[in-house]
Amino acid sequence: MTFTFPAGFALLAAVPLLVWLHRRRAPHVVRVASLAPYRAAAGEPAPQRSARGTDATLVLLVASVVCLACAATEPTIAGGTPVVTLRIDRSPSMSALTVAGPTVRASAVGRARRLVSHALPGAEIRETDLVPPAAGAGGPELGVIVTDRIPTGASGEVIVGPEHVARPNLGIVGALLVAGGSQVVVTVRNHSAESATASVQASSGELVQAAITARSSAEVTFAAPARGGHVEYRLRGPDSLDLDDVLLAERRGGAARVRARNAGVHVLSALRALGADVADAGETDATIECGGPVKGREEPTIQFAATVDSTGAAPSVGQLLRVVAGTRSVAGSSVTSRAPSFMSIPLPAPAARLVATGRLVGGDVLWEDAEGALAVRVGRRVVIALDPDAPDSDWAREGSFPAMIAAALDLVTDGPDRLRVTVGVPPVEGDVASEVLPDPDPDAIRRAAATPDPVRLGGWLALVGACAAAGAALVAGRRRLRS
């Protein structure tokens, strides 16, 4: 128990004064002519005056003064056992093995518990997951952060790391298609301070060995999976963290095989320049056609020179797209784009001469001029109301034309040809604990503890004192009425 104003105990000096004032009051006396009749009636000598009995009024008054004096000191009882919350980092790097055997997480949690027990014996220790602070959050949170590295913006926080550093670690940090999509380069990172040798094995069974110097990366090459295929790369070698030894990826996007319908020489030349295999039949990744009405096919399609007065539904979006008449001759400088960046395709050069087959109504506008839309996207179709093979057009003879076709193919075929990682660990997580963080100050741990609210007794004591004073007044009043 603590007292905010100990000087309040000086009020207890009023107790002796109160007793003295109460005792010195003259007794109530009834005057009679003689005491003899009263003694004769009693048949015995008058008894001696007995000792003064307990005076209830005095007891209640003393109790009132004592309670009010104690209330003036504002006594407070501590709220109970302090609670320290361990905010534990659950990131992959905490699963690495230390040189002593246990994981980084187990080592750090055990160290934190010992430090808290030493700073606050008997404290209750709880565990929760470490959550990044919200934007604009002010000041450090209560509790102890258990992690393997000092978090960004952790000023003022109490941080405890593992007792021992982690073992050397290697990890796969990425995979990339190269050589026109025929090969995959897998990057392996050595996070330790010593050179190491490891092997990477693909799910196809292909095994490649790599020597990696300290704190650097090495690249190993594999045959690329087929389009739409999945592949797994697994690191074989001694290290401390298993989670970054596996990378799963799938090959997505791109158009390696394209069907051409009514395509002119300029379109075919652009496709060959892009390295695409032009086919007339069989399974293809996309279709390019020139002329004719707009159709509502679901297959990925790029259509040039859509004809006037044709209609077609786009079932995947539920929109109607039609072509209306417009000025035939268009200058490249008058064409603008209003598509968002993820749907943009290269514009014709400003000096290009274009020939339009009409204007498009409906869909997501990619290009337009003052009269209306010249290129739109509807579902998995890109429709362009420009004729690249028209004799009056020189658009197909400039460098932007193949780039436009490549970008349009990416729009209708789920992006460019690439490997998309489905299972992997960010490279930063492979950089496991390489140093032991210093012990935090015990006072900092005490400040990070959450203590239950203290119990303040001043109000209750004042209430009891007031009740005792009221009781004393009531007893004294009844005594005066009886007399």
Alpha-carbon gap, residue 244 to 14, rounded angstroms: 78
pLDDT of residue 333: 93
pLDDT at 296 over 70: no
Contacts of 267 (CB under 8 A, 6+ apart): 260, 288, 290, 304, 388, 389, 396, 405
pLDDT of residue 143: 86
Greater confidence (3 vs 115) lies with 115
Mean pLDDT of the chain: 83
Pair 266, 409 in one domain: yes
Sheet holding 124-129, edge to edge: 124-129, 83-88, 144-146, 158-160
Residues in the chain: 483
pLDDT of residue 133: 63
pLDDT of residue 317: 36
Amino acid at 291: G
Backbone φ, ψ for residue 401 (5° rounding): -70, -50
Contacts of 477 (CB under 8 A, 6+ apart): none
Q: Which residues pair with 99 in a beta bridge?
A: none
Greater confidence (370 vs 23) lies with 370
Pair 412, 424 in one domain: no
Q: Nearest-CA neighbor of 404 among 298, 273, 314, 285?
A: 273
* Total domains in the fold of the chain: 4
pLDDT category of residue 338 using cuts at 50, 70 and 90: confident
The owner of tokens 């700073």 is: 119
pLDDT of residue 314: 39
Residue ranges of alpha helices (H) inside 133-211 are none
pLDDT of residue 44: 56
Alpha-carbon gap, residue 257 to 228, rounded angstroms: 13
Stretch 23-50: mean pLDDT: 61
pLDDT at 476 over 50: yes
Among 56-70, 122-136, 189-203, the range scoring the smallest mean pLDDT is 122-136
Pair 60, 194 in one domain: no
Structural tokens at position 320: 């109607």
Pair 394, 285 in one domain: yes
Q: Nearest-CA neighbor of 374 among 411, 418, 336, 421?
A: 336
Contacts of 151 (CB under 8 A, 6+ apart): 130, 132, 145, 157, 159
Q: Note the pLDDT tens digit of each residue in 263-272.
A: 888 899 998 8
Q: Note the pLDDT tens digit of each residue in 225-244.
A: 988 889 999 998 778 898 89
Stretch 128-132: mean pLDDT: 85
Show the domain range for 181: 170-253+419-430
Q: Which of 36-45, 222-231, 290-299 has the highest mean pLDDT?
A: 222-231
pLDDT over 90 percentage in the chain: 32
CA angle 121, 125, 130 (to 5 degrees): 140
pLDDT of residue 461: 83
pLDDT of residue 54: 63
Q: Note the pLDDT tens digit of each residue in 393-450.
A: 999 988 889 999 999 998 888 888 888 888 888 888 888 888 888 899 999 898 888 8
pLDDT of residue 405: 92
Pair 195, 263 in one domain: no
Pair 322, 408 in one domain: yes
pLDDT of residue 311: 47
Structural tokens at position 5: 């104003």
Q: Note the pLDDT tens digit of each residue in 243-253.
A: 899 999 998 88
Pair 115, 155 in one domain: yes
Buried b (16+ CB within 10 A) or exposed e, 451-461: eeeeeebbeeb
How many Å is the maximal CA-CA distance in the chain? 156
Structural tokens at position 162: 């593992």
Residue ranges of alpha helices (H) inside 182-338 are 265-273
pLDDT of residue 51: 47
Stretch 82-97: mean pLDDT: 91
Pair 316, 216 in one domain: no
187: CATH: 2.60.40.10
Pair 19, 32 in one domain: yes
Q: Is residue 413 a contact partner of residue 254, using CB atoms and an 8 Å limit?
A: yes
pLDDT of residue 347: 92
Pair 323, 289 in one domain: yes
Backbone φ, ψ for residue 134 (5° rounding): -70, 155
Tell the burial category of 140 from Cβ atoms under 10 Å away from its Cβ (0-12, 13-18, 19+).
middle
Alpha-carbon gap, residue 14 to 124, rounded angstroms: 44
Between strands 372-378 and 381-384, the pairing is antiparallel
Greater confidence (365 vs 27) lies with 365
Pair 185, 150 in one domain: no
Alpha-carbon gap, residue 354 to 335, rounded angstroms: 10
Pair 190, 307 in one domain: no
Q: Note the pLDDT tens digit of each residue in 312-334.
A: 443 333 345 778 888 899 999 99
Q: Note the pLDDT tens digit of each residue in 364-388.
A: 899 999 999 999 998 888 999 999 9
pLDDT at 47 over 60: no
